[in-house]
Each structure stands twice: as C-alpha cells, then as structure tokens.
Structure 1
C-alpha cells in the first residue's frame, strides 16, 4: 500500500513530477463528473510512462465491477479506489487487485465507517486500506479541499484495527505534517491541495507536500 499518493493526475508530466518528488502512488480519476477525469487512452499513456516506479491507482465512483475491471485491465491499474457509495458486497466482486475504500467522516465520526468495514468482511472481502475523507455535499466525491477534524479522527482511529488508514481531505504542503502528527495514518492522499487549477498540478507544491509528508511519516 502507498504512503503518499498524488491523486487526480491528468497528464504524463504531472505524473512524472509527482514520482520525481518522491510520491509512491498516483491516482487516475475515472468519474465523469470530476474536473480531474481522464479517458482510458490518456490513463493508459500515463500508466505506461509511470511503469513500476509508483503504484497506479484507479479512482471510481459508483461504477460496476465489470466496468472497473475492464478499465483496470485496459489501462494497467495496480489498485482500485472505490470513492462513491459502493455497497459492502461489491468488494468481493473485485478479487484481482488491492482495494482502497474511501469513506467520508461526518458528525457520527468513525462509527459508520467501522460498521461498513465489518459489513465488507461479512460479505466476503475487506478493503486493503480505508481512505478517510472530509464530508462533502451530495454528488461530490473527493477533491473538494474540505478539511477533516483530525483530532476527532485520531481519538477513534484505533477502531479500524489493523486496516491501514489513508488520510485525505483538505491536505496541503502547509498542513500535512500537522495532520500526520495528529492522526498517525499509514499514508496520505492529496488532489486539490497541490494544484494550480483543477486537474493541473503545481510541481513546487507537489515537492513541498511530499517532502513534508515523508518527513512526518518517518517520524511516526
């Protein structure tokens, strides 16, 4: 599983800049309503350029298992991230690749996320990691720039047990170290926090983010 993922990559240059900065994963978004959505042709080009230098993760929102596996095979995705409202039983229908299950932490804290994790196990497959994101308006799925209540998450994180926690939601180069020190996640995920505009990464912000995240993760 990854420690630092730069998500919402839309072109080869940004992908290579992220890897050169030290990111060990990139995210390719296949949700049509996202400003960071990429076609399978562009995604295949990016994945080919990245090769085995980083984990290439496909981000999907309420896509069918058949659709996800078709894209994964065509593009060459190493892992899948379910970032919508996918039911627990769907994970068991995706047996061939590591799965990151994204969840939004609202006023109820981690309790609904822990319950969903148990339901996934009962249905036949638990995710390989849980990505905890900030709450969003209906129809929004990540990349909003909204920040989580880190200390509230930290107080409940042990409930996830051995499942790796990936922290997302409003992270940027200025706050990621504080977020990591507060929550002690396995890894972090960023999209809008390192952009000059939606879908276009700022290489300097990426370098600063990765450096700050890597240093804080190493201290943990």
Structure 2
C-alpha cells in the first residue's frame, strides 16, 4: 500500500518521511490552511528530495492557470484538486491531477470509479480535519483505485488494510502540531501501512 504524508512545511519532515518509506509528499497551496506553504519554500524542499518521490500539490478554489503555474514552478508531479471543480477546469489542466471526493454518503464512493481518486470525509474545511469515514461503506467495493484519507493514525491504519486501497494519505494523524510532523508517528504509520512493523 502506498503512503502519502501530506502537509509538509519543512525539509526536516520531508526527508524524515522519505527515509521512513513515504511514496509521496503533499504540499498545501491553500492559504487558509494552517499547513499552507509558500511556493518558493516548497520548491526549496522539492529540490532537496531524492528521485522517485511523488510531489503532490493540494489546491482549493483555484483556476487551471494558477494550478499549472504553481505546479510548474514548484516541480509538483501531481495536482490534488480538493474542491468541486468543473469539468472545464480538468480539461484545461496541463498538470496531471487527482480528484478528491469529500464523501457524505456511501454513494459518493462510486463517483469517478474508473479513475484513481482520493476519498476523504466531508467537512466544511478542506483537509487535515482528522475526521474519519465509515469503513463499512467500503465493504464489497473495489478499492484498488482509491486513496483513503481522513482520520488515519498509527493506531488505526491496520484496520483499513483489508479493503485493498491503492494508498493512504495522512496529515494530522502524524503531527505534533499543525504543520510539524511527529517523526516517530510518521515512521510507525508507514511501517504499519506497508506491513513492516515489528511488535
């Protein structure tokens, strides 16, 4: 199972997450978020990363030109569209993207089922709320193209493994405070998600 550590704001957390086995790092380009990072700072971090690490930029309520401009500048490999964007926006994007489904009901999980998508619990704010989805919604569902987010922690990550998700995305569940990771939690989370944990 692939693991994304989101809400990266500093190089220490980024390198520690990569060393622990993270497949992707998330950078929040949404100014209202406590995990917001300036594009220049994100570029500094990305420039110091080793190869083969996915760099994901999170965007809320932006147009395609802004998303493409920031992603080019910061060398993001993927744009995470964390709002209900129009199909015109997706068609206009030059950057590879992933949709976020902020699920209110089980039926929402079936949206865009032909493509890879990130599924998060619905809340008024965007991301990093720690709110969990009802795992029963995923029973008998093909989860092979779903990246699960929302309320994941080192304590509960093993509960979701049986569903066969493509990946998991964690932010607040491995933090000491908003925007600063707890490296011990990051390491434990990744090891448990990938089945490497030694009890």
TM-score, normalised relative to structure 2: 0.92
SS at match of 2:184: helix
Question: Does 1:23 find its partner at 2:22?
Answer: yes
1:113 deviation in Å?
4.7
Partner of 1:104: 102
Question: Does 1:132 find its partner at 2:119?
Answer: yes
CA distance in 2, matches of 1:201, 1:153: 29
CA distance in 2, matches of 1:180, 1:199: 26
The answer to whether the 8 Å contact 1:65/1:90 transfers is: yes
| Equivalent residues in 2 for 1:168-207, closer than 5 Å | 168-181=149-162, 183-207=163-187
CA distance in 2, matches of 1:185, 1:89: 29
CA distance in 2, matches of 1:53, 1:26: 11
Question: Does 1:211 find its partner at 2:196?
Answer: no
1:166 deviation in Å?
0.2
CA distance in 2, matches of 1:96, 1:34: 22
CA distance in 2, matches of 1:200, 1:154: 34
Question: Does 1:167 find its partner at 2:148?
Answer: yes
Partner of 1:62: 61
Q: 1:153 aligns with which of 138, 141, 161?
A: 138
Partner of 1:75: 74
SS at match of 1:148: coil
- Structure 1 unpaired stretches of 5+: 119-125
Task: Give aligned pairs, total.
Answer: 196
The answer to whether the 8 Å contact 1:19/1:53 transfers is: no
The answer to whether the 8 Å contact 1:154/1:184 transfers is: no
The answer to whether the 8 Å contact 2:2/2:168 transfers is: yes
- Structure 2 unpaired stretches of 5+: none
Which has more helix, going by share of residues? 1
SS at match of 1:103: strand
CA RMSD of aligned residues (A): 1.8
Partner of 2:110: 114
Question: Does 1:11 find its partner at 2:10?
Answer: yes
1:85 deviation in Å?
2.1
CA distance in 1, matches of 2:101, 2:108: 9
CA distance in 2, matches of 1:80, 1:53: 17
Partner of 1:123: none
- 1:131-189: per-residue Cα shift (whole Å, max 9, x none)? 010121x2x0110001111121234x33x7x7x100111001011111122x2211000
SS at match of 1:26: strand
SS at match of 1:49: coil
